[in-house]
């Protein structure tokens, strides 16, 4: 049977259901891939954190100090009514830090304190 010009044969109901099923499977496989990648990233981050904590508690490599000290020079930033700021500098203080990637045991990492050696205290 020939169709008039400009008209196409309509897909059967079974073909339409199969096409929708393929689209759904493709979409679901993308979602599952994103979920797997996200879960893998979370597990890797947890493993790195656990390894960092272990290397802090059990000195790896031997002889590496677990703790360090950094001299910080905090200052107060007091806002005035005129919209300007007044600065009050405090005496330098030695602050204990941990030689690790992440903060542990209530101490900040030494690499972070070295980069932020002048903490601003807003008033």
Q: How many domains does the chain have?
A: 2
Confidence of residue 102 (pLDDT cuts 50, 70, 90): very high
Q: What is the pLDDT of residues 66-100, one digit of tens each?
A: 899 999 999 999 988 898 988 999 999 999 999 99
2 domain residue, yes or no: no
* Contact in structure between 99 and 93 (CB atoms under 8 Å): no
Which domain range does residue 114 map to? 67-122
DSSP three-state, residue 83: coil
Asked whether residue 72 falls in the same domain as residue 97, the answer is yes
Asked whether residue 72 falls in the same domain as residue 103, the answer is yes
* Contact in structure between 101 and 50 (CB atoms under 8 Å): no
* Contact in structure between 88 and 78 (CB atoms under 8 Å): yes
* 16, β-bridge pairs: none
4 domain residue, yes or no: no
Asked whether residue 51 falls in the same domain as residue 22, the answer is yes
Asked whether residue 55 falls in the same domain as residue 21, the answer is yes
pTM of the predicted protein model: 0.66
Q: What is the pLDDT of residues 16-73, one digit of tens each?
A: 777 787 777 777 777 788 888 999 999 999 999 999 999 888 887 788 898 999 999 9
Confidence of residue 123 (pLDDT cuts 50, 70, 90): confident
| pLDDT surpassing 80 at residue 11 | no
What pairing do the DSSP bridges indicate for beta strands 67-72 and 93-98?
A: antiparallel
**Residue carrying the six token digits 């677990």:** 66
């Amino acid at each position: 049977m020939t169709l008039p010009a400009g008209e196409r044969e309509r897909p059967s109901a079974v073909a339409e259901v199969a096409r929708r099923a393929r689209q759904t499977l493709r979409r679901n496989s993308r979602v599952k891939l994103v979920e797997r990648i996200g879960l893998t990233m979370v597990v890797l981050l947890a493993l790195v954190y656990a390894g960092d904590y272990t290397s802090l508690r059990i000195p790896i490599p031997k002889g590496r100090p677990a703790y360090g000290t950094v001299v910080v020079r905090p200052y107060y930033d007091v806002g005035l009514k005129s919209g300007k700021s007044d600065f009050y500098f405090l005496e330098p203080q030695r602050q204990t830090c941990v030689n690790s990637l992440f903060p542990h045991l209530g101490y900040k990492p030494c690499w972070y304190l070295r980069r932020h050696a002048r903490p601003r205290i807003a008033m």
